[in-house]
Amino acid sequence: MTEYSGGGDPKRSLELLWGVRPRPRRGPKPRLTAEEIVRAAIALADAEGLDALSMRRIADELGVSPMSIYTYVPGKAELIDVMVDRAFGELAPLGKGFEEGTWRARLERIARENWALFHRHPWMLQITTVRPPMGPNLLGKYEYELRAVDGLGLSDVEMDSVVALVTGFAESSARVSVNAAEAERRSGMSDEQWWESVAPLLDTLVDEADYPLGSRVGAAAGQEYSAAVGPGHAFEFGLARILDGVEALISSR
């Protein structure tokens, strides 16, 4: 399942994100709040994944009927918008400022914080944020990250590009790592076990001589990755390369 943030009614989403719903003056006391629903939804998605996140499950969790949820939230799309903003909010509060350290240390920290966030909330990787939910937390995160590259002689567009490159890389390598863990959970097999179950059959189908480089390099890489380093290696390697590339850009200014 891939969801789209910004998939719902933009007006309703923004009202929800900024909490501007006028307090109802009549009718029965509400049993819930939108915030409770968001918390329950995030907890459920953390624990069981986005596929398990259904309006019925959320309602179950909160002890109400499925349709009651729609009293507080226009629909699933708008709910997801708020979930995304709240979850990204775990990043911005850290950023009181960057008084010390080099730009490189700051960008590295941002990359690691984003990487860790996606591991805490793997469901976020299944949500496309090309039309990001414009909530307080997402705006705060962007502001925080831009401060890491302010005053280095980069143009505004370059500042945005560098931040997008680093956070985008953190996201995409977290995706690999999270998907590996999820594949392990689903299949009940570690990567090693999976490979051992595939290799014998593959051997009968393929002549290694047809793929000389792939056989050699694949074996070496498999050895390395199964040695507990795993997907974290790709993150470290890529981050070092990218920051070297950014360094080349900055010193050309």
> 3-class SS at 3?
strand
The contacts of residue 186 (CB under 8 Å, 6+ apart) are: none
What is the C-alpha separation between 83 and 144, in angstroms, rounded? Answer: 20
Q: Does 6 bind a second copy (CB under 8 A)?
A: yes
- CA Rg value for the chain: 22
Q: Name which of 110, 119, 126 is nearest 169 in CA terms.
A: 110
CB 101 to a second copy: min, Å: 18
Residue 76 interface partner, choices a second copy, DNA, none, CB cut-off 5-8 Å depending on type? DNA
Q: How does DSSP classify residue 74?
A: S
Residues in contact with 142: Cβ distance below 8 Å, sequence separation at least 6, in sequence order: 163
SS3 state at 246: helix
- Residue 66: name its binding partner from DNA, a second copy, none (Cβ under 5 to 8 Å by kind): DNA
Site string for a second copy, 116-155 (x = CB under 8 A): ----------x-x-xx--x-x--xx-xx--xx--x----x
Binding region for DNA (CB under 7 A): 24-32, 53-57, 64-68, 70-72, 75-77
Coil, strand or helix at 49: coil
Q: Does 31 bind a second copy (CB under 8 A)?
A: no
Of the residues 33, 65, 179, 190, which one makes contact with a second copy according to CB under 8 A:
179
CB-nearer residue toward DNA: 25 or 186:
25
CA nearest neighbour of 185 among 71, 48, 53, 91: 48
- Interacting partner of 110 out of a second copy, DNA, none (Cβ under 5 to 8 A depending on kind): none
Between 20 and 100, name the residue whose CB sits nearer to a second copy: 20
Query: Secondary structure of the chain: what % helix, strand, coil (to 5)?
Result: 70, 0, 25
> For residue 27, which of 93, 91, 71 has the smallest C-alpha distance?
71
**Chosen residue from 192, 198, 226, 232 binding a second copy by CB under 8 A:** 198
| Binds a second copy (CB under 8 A): choice among 60, 90, 108, 160 | 160
With CB under 5 to 8 Å by kind, the binding choice for 147 among DNA, a second copy, none is a second copy
Query: What is the closest distance, in whole angstroms, from the C-beta atom of residue 33 to DNA in the complex?
Result: 9
